[in-house]
Structure 1
Amino acid sequence: GSRRERHFRPELVRMWSQKLGIRTESSQRFERGADPGFPPDASARVAQLLLKLAGGVAGPVKDDFSELPRPSRVFLRKDYPSRLLGVDIPEEKTHDILAGLGFKVEDRGEAFYVEVPTRRRDISIEADLVEEVGRIYGYGNIPGKVESSGEFLGKKPRDLRHRVREIVSRLGFQEVQSLEFVSEREIKAFSAEDIAVRIMNPLTEQFSCVRPLLMMGLLNVVSINQRRGVRDVRIFQVGKEFRYRGSEELPEEREVLCAVASGRLEKNWLEKERELDFYDVKGLLTRLLEELGCGYDIEESDLPYLDYGAAVTVNGKRCGWIGRLKEEIAELYDLKFPLYVLEVEIASLEPCEKGPVEIPRYPPVKRDISVLMDEEVPYRELERLIRKASSSLLVEIRVIDVYRGKPLPEGKKSITVGLLYQHMERTLQDEEVDGEVEKIVEILAKEGYIIRGYEGGVRRS
Structure 2
Amino acid sequence: MQFPESWLREFCNPPLATKQIADVLTMGGLEVEDLRPVAPPFTKVVVGEIKEAVQHPNADRLRVCQVDVGQGALLNIVCGAPNARVGIRVPTALVGAELPPGDDGKPFAIKLGKLRGVESQGMLCSARELKLSEDHAGLMELASDAPLGKDVREVLDLDDQVFTLKLTPNLAHALSVYGVARELSALTGAPLVQPKFEPVQPKNDAKLAVKVSAPDLCGRFSGRVVRNVDTKAKTPQWMVDRLARCGQRSVTALVDISNYVMFEFGRPSHIFDYDKIHGTLDVRWGKPGEQLKLLNGNTITVDEKVGVIADDKEVESLAGIMGGDATAVSDDTRNVYVEAAFWWPQAVQGRSRRYNFSTDAGHRFERGVDPSLTVEHIEHITRLILEVCGGEAGPMDDQVLSLPERKPVTLRVARASKVIGMPLTANPCLDAFERLGLPAQSNGETIVVTPPPYRFDLAIEEDLIEEVARIVGYEHLPTTPPLAPITAKLPPEGRRSAFAVRRLLAALGYQETINFSFVEDSWERDLAGNANPIKLLNPIASQMSVMRSSLMGSLLQVLKFNLDRKAERVRVFEIGRVFLRDASVATGDTTVRGVRQPMRVAGLAYGEPDGLQWARKAPGADFYDAKGDVEALLAPRQAEYRAATHPAMHPGRCAEVIIDGVSAGHVGELHPRSRQAWDLPHAPVLFELDLGQVLARDVPVFTPVPRFQPAERDIAVIVADSVTHAALMEAIHGADTGGLLRDALLFDVYKPKQATAGMAAGEKSLAVRLTLASPDATLTEDQIEAAVRAVVGRVATQLGGRLRG
Q: TM-score range by the shorter chain?
A: 0.5 to 0.7
Pick from 523, 526, 532 the counterpart of residue 189 of structure 1. 526
The yes-or-no answer on 1:33 pairing with 2:366 is: yes
Q: What one-letter code is carried by the residue in structure 1 that aligns with 2:577? A: G
The yes-or-no answer on 1:232 pairing with 2:575 is: no
Q: What one-letter code is carried by the residue in structure 2 that aligns with 1:234? A: V
**Structure 1 match to 2:199:** none
The one-character-per-residue Cα deviations of 1:101-149 (angstroms, maximum 9, x if unpaired) are 9584847434454566777766654456667859946999676778424
Pick from 643, 660, 669 the counterpart of residue 300 of structure 1. 643
1:38 and 1:306 mapped to 2: Cα distance? 61
1:224 and 1:334 mapped to 2: Cα distance? 12
Offset at residue 184 of structure 1 (A): 2.9
The yes-or-no answer on 1:89 pairing with 2:89 is: no
Stretch of structure 1 that moved more, 75-84 or 297-306: 75-84
2:517 and 2:685 mapped to 1: Cα distance? 21
Aligned pairs for 1:44-83 (under 5 A) are 47=381, 50=384, 54=388, 64=399, 66-70=401-405, 73-80=408-415
The one-character-per-residue Cα deviations of 1:48-105 (angstroms, maximum 9, x if unpaired) are 99489849799787655643435565444444467568xx333379949976995848
The yes-or-no answer on 1:328 pairing with 2:673 is: yes
The one-character-per-residue Cα deviations of 1:221-251 (angstroms, maximum 9, x if unpaired) are 44445445665242222313223769xx964
Offset at residue 306 of structure 1 (A): 0.3
2:392 and 2:430 mapped to 1: Cα distance? 37
Whether the aligned pair in 2 keeps the contact of 1:71 and 1:116 (CA below 8 Å) is yes
Offset at residue 168 of structure 1 (A): 1.8
**Structure 2 match to 1:342:** 687
Aligned pairs for 1:155-174 (under 5 A) are 163=496, 165-173=498-506
Find the structure with the greater CA-based Rg. Answer: 2
Whether the aligned pair in 2 keeps the contact of 1:310 and 1:321 (CA below 8 Å) is yes
- The SS at the match of 1:178 is coil
Offset at residue 297 of structure 1 (A): 2.3
Q: What one-letter code is carried by the residue in structure 2 that aligns with 1:300? A: A
1:375 and 1:120 mapped to 2: Cα distance? 80
1:175 and 1:122 mapped to 2: Cα distance? 42
Offset at residue 194 of structure 1 (A): 3.6
Aligned pairs for 1:391-430 (under 5 A) are none
Q: Work out the number of aligned pairs and report it.
A: 401
Offset at residue 302 of structure 1 (A): 1.5
Whether the aligned pair in 2 keeps the contact of 1:103 and 1:114 (CA below 8 Å) is no
Q: What one-letter code is carried by the residue in structure 2 that aligns with 1:206? A: Q
Q: What one-letter code is carried by the residue in structure 2 that aligns with 1:209? A: V
2:676 and 2:439 mapped to 1: Cα distance? 62
Q: What one-letter code is carried by the residue in structure 1 that aligns with 2:369? A: P
1:235 and 1:82 mapped to 2: Cα distance? 49
Identity %: 20
Whether the aligned pair in 1 keeps the contact of 2:422 and 2:478 (CA below 8 Å) is no
CA pair 403-79 structure 1, distance change in 2 beyond 3 A: farther
TM-score by length of 1: 0.58
The yes-or-no answer on 1:311 pairing with 2:656 is: yes
Pick from 534, 538, 552 the counterpart of residue 215 of structure 1. 552
Whether the aligned pair in 2 keeps the contact of 1:13 and 1:31 (CA below 8 Å) is no
2:474 and 2:676 mapped to 1: Cα distance? 52
Offset at residue 267 of structure 1 (A): 7.2
Aligned pairs for 1:420-459 (under 5 A) are none
**Structure 2 match to 1:9:** 344
Pick from 573, 577, 580 the counterpart of residue 242 of structure 1. 580
Offset at residue 169 of structure 1 (A): 0.5
CA pair 17-320 structure 1, distance change in 2 beyond 3 A: same
**Structure 2 match to 1:257:** 600
Whether the aligned pair in 1 keeps the contact of 2:519 and 2:548 (CA below 8 Å) is yes
CA pair 391-191 structure 1, distance change in 2 beyond 3 A: same
The one-character-per-residue Cα deviations of 1:9-68 (angstroms, maximum 9, x if unpaired) are 3544469779xx744424994598233228949948975994898497997876556434
Stretch of structure 1 that moved more, 62-71 or 203-212: 62-71
Whether the aligned pair in 1 keeps the contact of 2:605 and 2:684 (CA below 8 Å) is yes
1:195 and 1:116 mapped to 2: Cα distance? 46
Stretch of structure 1 that moved more, 56-65 or 254-263: 56-65
Whether the aligned pair in 1 keeps the contact of 2:603 and 2:686 (CA below 8 Å) is yes
2:662 and 2:381 mapped to 1: Cα distance? 74
1:46 and 1:28 mapped to 2: Cα distance? 18
TM-score by length of 2: 0.37
1:103 and 1:80 mapped to 2: Cα distance? 22
**Structure 2 match to 1:148:** 487
Whether the aligned pair in 1 keeps the contact of 2:571 and 2:605 (CA below 8 Å) is yes
Whether the aligned pair in 1 keeps the contact of 2:579 and 2:597 (CA below 8 Å) is yes
Offset at residue 255 of structure 1 (A): 0.5
Whether the aligned pair in 1 keeps the contact of 2:656 and 2:666 (CA below 8 Å) is yes
Whether the aligned pair in 1 keeps the contact of 2:547 and 2:578 (CA below 8 Å) is no
